[in-house]
Structure 1
Amino acid sequence: MTEQPTTPAAPAPLTADQAAAEARRLIADAYRPGPGVPAATAWRDTTPTPTHGTTPPVPQPDRRLVPPVAAGIAVCSVAVGAGAVGIGCGAWLLLQGLSAITLAGVLAIAAPFVGIAIVATAVGTAVSRVRAGTSTTTHVYQGEVTQHTEIEARQRGMFSRTTISR
């Protein structure tokens, strides 16, 4: 009879101190440099940078990230926004002024418009009277007059049609 392989027994659970020590060991092993590799350290070059050097200037070609059309649209939208603000401020000033006036002020403002309306009405009336005087309203018909009173109706199917026969 052969022996069946058995799984090893599970290790006993670690205490909190043992688990912390094992975690520190695993982290130290993971970050330990290999043979011949220096340990990782921080390094800063403290030599002062020269204010100018012997290297000739390098041409830097213009590489815009924004196409000219988009820049133009942006400038145009700023101009439209500024214009809208200007119109809004003008309307606010006008309405502030109009809200502070009395009935006499309203009549004084409306007087020129009323005068223009009266003149326009007078001119329109004069023009219509001149036209009425030159046109004739007498209707003279020449020729014989016939009157058709026969009506024929046909109903077929869904639609019906009525015609006047001549």
Structure 2
Amino acid sequence: MDTRPSPPNLDDQAAQLIAAVNNAMTTPTHYRDHTPLPTTGTTPPVTQPGRPPMSQRATDTSALLLSGSVLTLAAGGAISGILWASGHADPTTIALIAAAPISIAVPILALSRLMARAKDAAAALPTEQHHHYNAPVTQDQRTINTRTSGMWASTRNQMSDSD
């Protein structure tokens, strides 16, 4: 005698599956209440402070543009500062390229002119040198010009006798 269970009939299984699908299709999955919402008063809506009411897409685009402009300003300012500090760009050129508003461009130009005048004044001042000798000193004065391919160098030594 065989004690093993008999395999299920495929037709019975298919019928159970079809019945489960039909049951799932007839069961409602949502419900919409069509009753009107109660009103709380007759006062018209008041505009709230902050951003005006917009669609979600318009809000996302606005936030994207604002954050992009802040990042662009920060990157441009950093690059301009590096170029100006390294001496590879003129402040006037930086102001014109950035199309800075007049309230920003005027102080930049004024500061650049002030710095240029201070630099010229410092270069015009003679450097004060003090030499103290305890023995006779001989200074050699010669000019040596050296030319190689693409480079020219000049060394100037001045000669004078001092006690």
| More RCO (CA 8 Å, sep 6+) | 2
**TM-score of the aligned structures, taking structure 2 as reference length:** 0.26
Tell me which structure has the larger Cα radius of gyration.
1
TM-score by length of 1: 0.26
